[in-house]
Amino acid sequence: MPGIGRLTPAATLLAAISVLVTACTGQSGAEAADDPKADVTLNFWHGWSAPSEVKAIEENIARFEKAHPNIKVKVTDNMTDDKINQALRAGGEKAPDVVSSFTTDSVGKFCNSRAFADLNPFLRKSGIDKTKVFPKTLLEYTQFNGNQCTLPLLNDAYGLVYNKDAFKAAGITEPPRTWSQFAEAARKLTRTSGDSYEQLGVMPTFHGYETTPMRLAAQWSPAYFTADGKSNLAKDPAFAKMLTAQKALVAELGGYQKLEKFRSTFGDEWSTDHPFHKGLVAMQIDGEWRAAMAKEGGASFEIGTAPLPVPDDQAEDYGKGYLSGTVMGIAAGSRKQNAAWELVKYMTTDTAAVVAFANSIHNVPSTLEALESPDLRVSPEFKTFLDIARHPKSNTTPAQADGGTYQLTFQDFAYAVEKGDVSDLPAGLARVDQQIDTDIAKAK
């Protein structure tokens, strides 16, 4: 199971993170006074829990400790952001010095509250030019207002995973590149059975696992905020166009109620009962892990991968997609920040370490050198997602002071749109903008 794909909902984190504003004190960057060559034990907390993931972390830590014999790392796995935030607030010797989080949506909150130390001074001391190490989009979601409070630790690219056998049976010779081709393929691949489905071309509703409004909106290259930081959903036509296209596809495939009734029969996203594995859904919007998981889950058909389709008027940008990933930072209250930086630097910038970790858990590498490494194991299915990660117009949701609250506001509105509860889309988006601006102002 891919760790990055199991993102903690941002809504559960906001209260816990906000208390850190007054709780986090400590060293930062150039002010860190501990001797990184002294014998020390670091507490490293992360969220991975599957045996293969935990083993991959342990192997990386073993390589680090061999290169840094004075630094021992005590690793605690399966840590949620709630547990991490409580420990950071409490402080003390048992609190984490280094943290890895799946929740990129909360980076703005982590940085704004000063829960994590700004890593810019550490980067400068180490002579590392972050713009030459990490892809631009990854730097966007790991910092806020110039505070680089986290660094990328692998990343996810989202694309299309599809059933090649079903494509062949439907007479479809290649994956769709534009939205109109996508909608046509979804119709051809759908076979009804009474008031349900024998096979659904794609589950288009926003509750369908990884099919979130943010990941679909990425194909329209949206601008969530204006230059002065105001919410931009009503003024940027990308959002209305995406919502309109998605709602039309929902209607074409049977309507919201029928689709949701079918979706209620689906198995867990991370189990062998996933509907794509079982051939119930022919196309799946998903991350780089899905093809491997489907094979391991006993899928009996040939699997293909491709970028998500783009709007018809942006056909020249085909290949782009939504990017997110795991982040890694240093607790602001840690008294071992220079030693902690050695661990963060190794795991996030050392090419061999990044490649080894990516190979172990089947995620996309997070440095420019690792993306091109000859040691990276690349299957044809995986290459698609590497190409999406490299695409200059791939994008992400920007960090904000309220963490992921603005995304939840947009997502709730998208749920209402697809159900048919919004009669005036422009007016609805304007109200969403007002709510987002209010929430961000409160967070600041």
Residues 36 and 25 in one domain: yes
Q: Which residues pair with 285 in a beta bridge?
A: 160
Does the pTM surpass 0.85? The reply is: yes
| Domain finish residue from 390, 416, 433 | 390
Q: What is the pLDDT of residue 7?
A: 43
- Looking at the predicted structure, is the pLDDT value of residue 213 above 60? yes
Q: What is the pLDDT of residue 354?
A: 97
Q: What residues make up the domain containing 103?
A: 10-156+324-390
* String of DSSP letters for 351-398: HHHHHHHHHHHT-B-SSHHHHT-TTS---HHHHHHHHHHH-TT-B-PP
Residues 14 and 129 in one domain: yes
| pLDDT tens per residue across span 321-373 | 999 999 999 999 999 999 999 999 999 999 999 999 999 988 999 999 999 99
Residues 152 and 260 in one domain: no
Residues 346 and 245 in one domain: no
Q: What is the mean pLDDT of residues 259-264?
A: 97
Residue type, 316: E
Q: Taking phi first (over 0 means left), then psi (-120 to 50 degrees means alpha), and beta for anything else, what does residue 73 get?
A: beta
Residues 125 and 79 in one domain: yes
Residues 168 and 259 in one domain: yes
Answer yes or no: is 270 within a domain: yes
Please report which confidence band the pLDDT of residue 2 belongs to, taking 50, 70 and 90 as the band edges.
Answer: very low
Answer yes or no: is 232 within a domain: no
Residues 56 and 125 in one domain: yes
Residues 173 and 291 in one domain: yes
Q: What is the pLDDT of residue 20?
A: 45
Residues 192 and 331 in one domain: no
Nearest to 77 by CA among 58, 64, 92: 58
Residues 123 and 188 in one domain: no
| Total domains, the chain | 2
Which has more confidence, 90 or 233?
Answer: 233
Residues in the chain: 444
* String of DSSP letters for 276-290: TTTTSEEEEEEETTH
* Average pLDDT along the chain: 91
| pLDDT tens per residue across span 89-119 | 888 888 999 999 988 887 988 898 898 999 9
Residues 65 and 110 in one domain: yes
**Angle subtended by helix axes 237-252 and 405-419, to nearest 10:** 40
Answer yes or no: is 412 within a domain: no
Q: What is the pLDDT of residue 26?
A: 47
Please report which confidence band the pLDDT of residue 388 belongs to, taking 50, 70 and 90 as the band edges.
Answer: very high
Residues 301 and 333 in one domain: no
Lowest mean pLDDT among 80-94, 140-154, 197-211, 214-228: 80-94
Answer yes or no: is 190 within a domain: yes
The Cα 320–Cα 325 span in angstroms is: 16
Domain at 207, CATH number? 3.40.190.10
Which residues touch 290 (CB under 8 Å, ≥6 apart)? 161, 276, 284
Cβ(203)–Cβ(194) below 8 Å: no
Q: What is the mean pLDDT of residues 402-412?
A: 93
- Looking at the predicted structure, is the pLDDT value of residue 266 above 50? yes
